Structure 1
Amino acid sequence: MVHPTAIIHPGARLGEQVRIGPFAVIGEHVSLGDRTIVGPHAVIEGRTQIGCDNHIFQFASVGAIPQDLKFRGEETYLRIGDGNIIREFVTIHLGTESGGGYTLIGDGNLFMAYCHVAHDCQVGNRVIMANGSTLAGHVEVQDHAILGGLSAIHQFARVGAHVMVSGGAMVNQDIPPYTIAQGDRARTVGLNLVGLKRRGFTEETISAIKLAYRLVFRSGLRLEEALARVVTEVGEIPEVVSFVEFIRKSQRGIAR
């Protein structure tokens, strides 16, 4: 159902059973997947592809041009997967040419009211961004991460899988997977054990992650020495492999 007051460009592509509310605006290069709902006064523009079963609430702005002074109207894109919830006043921007051209969002994410996802960000699957949390440009947030209300992630920083970022945290370095970060500037303060148990991690895996965490964050060893010991002692566990790889790929350094 499309409300008669909605403004939909003839070039927009709408899937089956799409619902668009009063005074919503859908731009020329927008594609909406099956059963997606767009609320009143929402604006979806730019070269934006949105998958199936998404719910975009009233007053959201999706696919606007990036807040980057270098942007000159290049053809850049926003891709959003399936089953996402985008609440009131959320803003999600297109990518930039220098950042690869794409802002990418996976499946099953919840963006609570007033969240911001800037240009060239990559958000995985089942991520929760609580009210007012903000991603600067080029940020990566991996699967199952939770960002507390009013937290902010510095440009080019990464948040690992299953991380819990506390409300109000200011994150300016990478947060390794499975951990909890808090403060200004945010530091890693422990493991997200409650989250790991809720998501079905085995006791063996959790024990291996605990050892890896202690070696990296509590042993006093230099980082490379600590990682070498992690690989020697529990390096066969896939989740530990991800932990080590994340840290070794860090460009901004890890928050510890």
Structure 2
Amino acid sequence: MISPLAYVNPEAKIGKNVEIGPFCYIDKNVEIGDNNVLMNSVTVLDGARIGEGNTFFPGAVISAIPQDLKFAGEETTAEIGNHNTFRENVTVNRGTAAKGRTVVGNNNLIMEGAHVAHDVFVGNGCIIGNTTKLAGEVIVDDFAILSACVLVHQFCRIGSYVMVGGGSRTSQDIPPFIMAAREPIAFVGLNIVGLRRRGFDKNIIDNIHNAYRILYQNTKLQAERLELIKTEVPQSKEIDYIVDFVKTSKRGIIQPA
């Protein structure tokens, strides 16, 4: 299953039923689990920890050192979960002393030319579009969709079930369950189609809508608006998530168009 034209360091740990194509390079201090497919010209460098059932298309580079001038060669990792797809020329850098690791969860699709920088955390079931770039220490929660050519500033957080329009750029957090687009980026409504596809109940969608109506249309201070959401909208894990996301945002959330 390993091409004679590939290089695999003797110290690398390779699981069962792993395909490694020609011109791949597997460095020392690498762990690759079972049933992974590395097509030709995939590079896996020091610090990679790869789960099971992932597919890496040609040109992908996993666990390269961070593009961060503060990086001093510390031992860090790039941790890949299970059943992800990394299309052509995707780059995933390993962590720095800030967090020690970059993490991509399970069942994600990372499309051609996307970049996942140092200390990023990508959850599960996400889609990262062609040439989208995630800067250092970005967090992408589960089931978020970032369309093509999206630029995300360092330290930003993208909420679950978000749809971010192609070509957008953000230097603020994007709260969950919404659509974000335009220039400058703005809240443009709920991701209703995405929520329905994921099986959200109509009452839950209505409650999410009411929460954002209070958050974005009320003129009170943000802390007061969050308290209104807690008292006027029926409690659920989705509403708690919205309130906690906004309350803990370090860069502030995007605003309506």
TM-score (norm 2): 0.97
**Could you tell me how far apart the structure 1 residues matched to 2:225 and 2:172 are?**
19
Aligned ranges for residues 12-23 of structure 1 at < 5 Å?
A: 12-23=12-23
Paired residue for 2:162? 163
CA offsets per residue over residues 19-67 of structure 1, 9 Å max, x none? Answer: 0000100111111111000110110002110000000111111100000
**Could you tell me how far apart the structure 1 residues matched to 2:85 and 2:184 are?**
29
Q: What SS is found at the alignment partner of 1:74? A: coil
- The aligned length equals 255
Runs of 4+ that moved beyond 3 A = none
Paired residue for 1:60? 60
**Could you tell me how far apart the structure 2 residues matched to 1:45 and 1:128 are?**
24
Paired residue for 1:94? 94
**Could you tell me how far apart the structure 2 residues matched to 1:229 and 1:174 are?**
21
CA offsets per residue over residues 190-209 of structure 1, 9 Å max, x none? Answer: 11000000000001111110
For residue 117 of structure 1, what is the amino acid of its counterpart? V
Paired residue for 1:139? 138
For residue 80 of structure 1, what is the amino acid of its counterpart? I
Q: Is the 8 A contact 1:188 1:255 kept in 2?
A: yes
2:45 maps to 1:45: yes
CA offsets per residue over residues 204-246 of structure 1, 9 Å max, x none? Answer: 1111101001000122332112111100022511111001100
Paired residue for 1:34? 34
Q: Is the 8 A contact 1:56 1:87 kept in 2?
A: yes
1:254 Cα shift? 0.5
Paired residue for 1:9? 9
Q: Is the 8 A contact 1:208 1:237 kept in 2?
A: no
Structure 1's unaligned 5+ residue stretches are none
**Could you tell me how far apart the structure 2 residues matched to 1:68 and 1:185 are?**
27
Q: CA RMSD for the aligned pairs?
A: 0.8
1:100 Cα shift? 1.3
2:81 maps to 1:81: yes
Q: What SS is found at the alignment partner of 2:219? A: coil
**Could you tell me how far apart the structure 2 residues matched to 1:47 and 1:165 are?**
31
Structure 2's unaligned 5+ residue stretches are none
Q: Is the 8 A contact 1:215 1:221 kept in 2?
A: no
Paired residue for 1:250? 249
Q: Is the 8 A contact 1:76 1:96 kept in 2?
A: yes
**Could you tell me how far apart the structure 1 residues matched to 2:216 and 2:79 are?**
36
1:187 Cα shift? 1.4
**Could you tell me how far apart the structure 1 residues matched to 2:9 and 2:183 are?**
44
